[in-house]
Structure 1
């Protein structure tokens, strides 16, 4: 989100405290609801930011793992060419045929190590991409949760202005729905 949730929560709490001094029990209850929703909004927004950061970080690390795998696969291919060239040189015979045959076999062993390393890097990439998707999934749920809670705060303000209980109950419902989406972010 592009705003400072902690600052907004503090602002809403101050407005709620000011309204509570009116000595109207309804206004006091709505003011307390605003304060509770503001704290919820701040917490959910903070977690939303953390999940977005987690998604970006994991995706970036996945790109680095893929780059490492690509480099190792390039080395694997270069060694494959060397192996074939030394094999051809050994097949051609000559004074160094045995040496070329030995070098060709060394390349085979080196290739096995490189293949394992590249596959490990690709497995790490896949793991990081899965982690990024989990963070992104949570971020989407938390965005919806924060939005519902913030709308609930706005409707509480309407309840204070109009002194209508239906608006206050609606805001509580939106807060509960936001809380449900918060839970869904970590359970689904």
Structure 2
């Protein structure tokens, strides 16, 4: 079964509306609380999904940056071998020694460029991993917030069934705690 916060919010709002028709002020207050908590839970659930997607996307981009860096480091090492081979050929003397020495020096310049490119890709990877971790961190806080809001809705339902004010106050506390965790997701 899939979790659809918007559908659940709509269902809870309908239950609250039916309960409100009893014209009991307590039931009306609890029904309004259910509606508010349902809207908050749906909103937090949507943000939770967005943060999870952001974490996955940033992690995937980090892998691509690492792959680019790895490819460039491979090319760097191949050029290092070429440089050494040309250097050996130049040291051997002969009619092409100057040409081999020149090619060996060109490889050194190319390697400097490749090193810079690979290091830049590794810096991009590190930044993307940090972004992914930040999204994942928010996702965990939002999961906890959505859970508390949904439990608050369930406790409101118990308050309607039992007509006990303590359950309603408990659901308000759970809702408040859910809102605090929601804020913590973006402040921490």
Corresponding residue SS for 2:146: helix
Unaligned runs of 5+ in 2: none
Structure 1 residues 15-63: Cα deviation after superposition (integer angstroms, max 9, x where no partner): 1011000010000000000000000000000000000000000000000
Is 1:46 the counterpart of 2:46 in the alignment?
yes
Between Structure 1 and Structure 2, how many residues are aligned?
188
How far apart are 1:2 and its partner, in Å? 3.9
Shift of 1:83: 0.2
Residue 179 of structure 1 aligns with which residue?
A: 179
Q: What residue number does 2:29 align with?
A: 29
Is 2:50 the counterpart of 1:55?
no
Superposition pairs of residues 1-188 of structure 1, within 5 angstroms: 2-188=2-188
Q: Distance in 2 between matches of 1:158 and 1:5?
A: 20
CA distance in 1, matches of 2:6, 2:165: 28
How many Å separate the matches in 2 of 1:16 and 1:162? 15
Give, in whole Å, the separation in 2 of the partners of 1:13 and 1:106. 72
RMSD of aligned residue pairs (Cα, Å): 0.8
Question: CA separation of 1:3/1:176 partners in 2, compared to 1, >3 Å: closer, same or farther?
Answer: same
CA distance in 1, matches of 2:143, 2:34: 19
Runs (4+) of structure 1 exceeding 4 A deviation are none
Measured against aligned partners, the alpha-carbon deviations of 1:120-139 in whole angstroms (never above 9, x if no partner) come to: 00000000000000000000
Q: What is the rounded CA distance, in whole Å, between the counterparts of 1:49 and 1:76 in structure 2?
A: 41
Q: Any stretches of 5+ residues in structure 1 without a counterpart?
A: none
Using the alignment, how far apart are the partners of 2:180 and 2:63 within structure 1?
Answer: 34
Deviation at 1:82, TM superposition (A): 0.1
